[in-house]
Structure 1
Amino acid sequence: MPTIGSLFAAIGGFDLGFENAGFSTAWQVELNPVNRAVLADRFPHAQRFDDVRECGAHNLTPVDGVTGGFPCQDISLAGARSTNKDKRGLRGERSGLFWEVIRILKEIQPRWVVLENVVNLLAVNDSEDFETVIRALADCGYVGLWRVLNAQYFGVPQQRRRLFLVAGRGQMPPMDLLADAAPVDAISPASSATPWPVPADAWAANTLLANKAGSQIALGCTTFVSEPNRWDQMVKRQRASETDGLCLGLDAANLAEAFSAGNAVVPQVAEWIARKLMSAG
């Protein structure tokens, strides 16, 4: 069974998708202790480490593939006042951890590497950062391809566009990663009972979570609560709590859970990529 190592594992979106495709997770690196607790529960067979800067060939076992959604804080445009001029990109303290990925690739030399980040990586710093990513991988001996994939076309009721870069060590990944087996509108949603395409007011973005918060499932949609069957009126939060059992706010546990889910790689997308890599033999 092929194995993967997961950098910046979060709650294991990459890991779950790859395991559903037939991989086994050998190790995971994740700084957040809440996320590590989730990983320990769901992937008891994997080793866990907390700091990517302290990991390498001395404590990571060889694997067939390495996955990683490296931090996007210095890249993402999330936030009302954020522009590309404000972004440090790969020079930033958080997103600059990309260089730890490169160091680890040089040390353990996996066959495949799959990286994920926000689409703005293509544009930040006049696209120089994306060129840097490609060049750094090439200097390690990796060649590959990239593509923007949207979760809504993988049976997930959520618009979530993310950049995925797939590369092989001295070997191109399968070219059908750039192709689809059917038109995207022919891919069924998660539930066969859900009409497709989903109308705008049915997306998960319309929640009680704070607007533009890391815990929000989808960005770009004003959050609101509407009275059932009365779209012209807004309900008061207290009434909503009493009538429908809706939370008045998020406690610490709620926030941690929502934040982790909002930051996770969508497993269905990861699984699609992993199955393509499995087909390479």
Structure 2
Amino acid sequence: MPQPTIGSLFAGIGGFDAGFENAGYRTAWQVELNPTNRAVLADRFPHATQHEDVRHCGAHNLQTVDVITAGFPCQDISIAGSRPGNQTTRGLRGERSGLFWQVIRILQETQPRWVVLENVVNLLAINDSQDFETVIRALADSGYVGFWRVLNAQYFGVPQQRRRIFLVAGHQRMPPIELLADAAPVDAIPPASQSQQWPRPADTWAANTLLANKAGSQIAMGCTTFVAHPNGWHQMAERQRTSENDGLCLGLDASNLAEAFAAGNAVVPQIAQWVAEKLIKAN
């Protein structure tokens, strides 16, 4: 059988694409507005066609694919943008998150077999949950039905707490029921009184990642990203000495910040692969 294909809307740096290719798909095209991200995509996926603006894409310039993925913008949906006094948070009525309707238009024009959407968990609650109802209704009106789940990256081998909603729908067919099965064992959180093994490896701490908090440039004041090692005070001095002798950056310069934002917006490839492995069996 021919290799199944995906097209990626709001591709970012290719988290969806990497996961799906690890499961056996081939990326046919990607749509990404940010030029730095497009350069990353061109380097990592030279076989895929890159497009710039989702508003200029459709059946006239997008190859027919088996799956369309879309982590559409969350700026008008996320909790970070919904603080009191912030007038930019409008959900699907916002300028950025409203690009969801471009996804619906492209689905109607190209009719892929499957669609996979990703966004922040606040999509379930914003505007009294009316926006999420709108997403479900828009997909159904376009002929797509399916399931949704909130998946956390820490249960897919990624040392980070990152909960995102994933919605998988098929064109006039339901996705595999396995998508509603447990994604991985969920470990119980040990009580504070329970003894801990020391020292703990750095990669076992969910906070010890580039994007542990809301932004890679955020300085945590609550010790959320400190890794405790008994008698490890000297390591702070060694880190400073490494910076001075080897030129390693301790803070964030322009390239670090671009990397941080790109990583923060990316879909976790391990989760994308888990979804793709279920869909590829149903092709």
Q: TM-score, normalised to structure 2's length?
A: 0.83
Shift of 1:107: 0.5
Q: Could you tell me how far apart the structure 2 residues matched to 1:185 and 1:25 are?
A: 34
Aligned to 1:241: 240
Amino acid at match of 2:240: S
Q: Match for 1:112 among 92, 111, 114? A: 114
User: Structure 1 residue 153 and structure 2 residue 155: aligned?
Assistant: yes
Shift of 1:247: 2.5
Q: Secondary structure at the match of 2:79?
A: coil
Aligned to 1:90: 92
> What are the superposed Cα offsets for residues 128-151 of structure 1, whole Å, 9 maximum, x if unpaired?
000000000000000001000011
- 1:147–1:200 CA distance, 2 compared to 1 (3 A): farther
Aligned to 1:189: none
User: Structure 1 residue 168 and structure 2 residue 170: aligned?
Assistant: yes
Unaligned runs of 5+ in 2: 189-196
The answer as to whether partners of 1:116 and 1:164 remain within 8 angstroms in 2 is yes
- 1:28–1:148 CA distance, 2 compared to 1 (3 A): same
Q: Could you tell me how far apart the structure 2 residues matched to 1:178 and 1:232 are?
A: 46
Aligned to 1:54: 56
User: Structure 1 residue 135 and structure 2 residue 137: aligned?
Assistant: yes
Amino acid at match of 2:67: G
Aligned to 2:230: 229
- 1:233–1:125 CA distance, 2 compared to 1 (3 A): farther
Q: Match for 1:270 among 246, 269, 272? A: 272
Q: Could you tell me how far apart the structure 1 residues matched to 2:27 and 2:203 are?
A: 37
The answer as to whether partners of 1:77 and 1:84 remain within 8 angstroms in 2 is no
Aligned to 2:146: 144
Q: Which moved more, 1:174-183 or 1:26-35?
A: 174-183
The answer as to whether partners of 1:13 and 1:270 remain within 8 angstroms in 2 is yes
Q: Could you tell me how far apart the structure 2 residues matched to 1:122 and 1:51 are?
A: 27
Q: Secondary structure at the match of 2:179?
A: helix
State the superposition RMSD in angstroms.
3.2
Q: Stretches of 4+ moved more than 4 A in 1?
A: 83-86, 198-202, 206-211, 219-228, 230-236, 243-246
Aligned to 2:33: 31
Q: TM-score, normalised to structure 1's length?
A: 0.84
Q: Could you tell me how far apart the structure 2 residues matched to 1:221 and 1:47 are?
A: 44
Q: Could you tell me how far apart the structure 2 residues matched to 1:59 and 1:171 are?
A: 26
The answer as to whether partners of 2:144 and 2:171 remain within 8 angstroms in 1 is yes
Shift of 1:54: 0.5
Q: Secondary structure at the match of 1:242?
A: helix
Shift of 1:255: 1.2
Q: Could you tell me how far apart the structure 1 residues matched to 2:85 and 2:221 are?
A: 17
Aligned to 2:263: 261
User: Structure 1 residue 3 and structure 2 residue 2: aligned?
Assistant: no
Q: Could you tell me how far apart the structure 2 residues matched to 1:140 and 1:84 are?
A: 36
Shift of 1:201: 9.2
Unaligned runs of 5+ in 1: 187-194
Amino acid at match of 2:15: G
- 1:10–1:182 CA distance, 2 compared to 1 (3 A): closer
The answer as to whether partners of 1:153 and 1:184 remain within 8 angstroms in 2 is yes
> What are the superposed Cα offsets for residues 225-272 of structure 1, whole Å, 9 maximum, x if unpaired?
578635789958xx7422566623211111111221121100000000
Q: Could you tell me how far apart the structure 2 residues matched to 1:200 and 1:30 are?
A: 33
Shift of 1:48: 0.3
- 1:84–1:10 CA distance, 2 compared to 1 (3 A): farther
Amino acid at match of 1:153: Y
Amino acid at match of 1:173: P
Amino acid at match of 2:74: C
The answer as to whether partners of 1:208 and 1:224 remain within 8 angstroms in 2 is no
- 1:227–1:17 CA distance, 2 compared to 1 (3 A): closer
- 1:2–1:211 CA distance, 2 compared to 1 (3 A): closer
The answer as to whether partners of 1:75 and 1:124 remain within 8 angstroms in 2 is yes
Q: Could you tell me how far apart the structure 2 residues matched to 1:111 and 1:220 are?
A: 47
Identity of aligned residues (%): 73
The answer as to whether partners of 1:70 and 1:115 remain within 8 angstroms in 2 is yes
Q: Secondary structure at the match of 1:184?
A: coil
Q: Secondary structure at the match of 2:37?
A: helix
The answer as to whether partners of 1:206 and 1:224 remain within 8 angstroms in 2 is yes
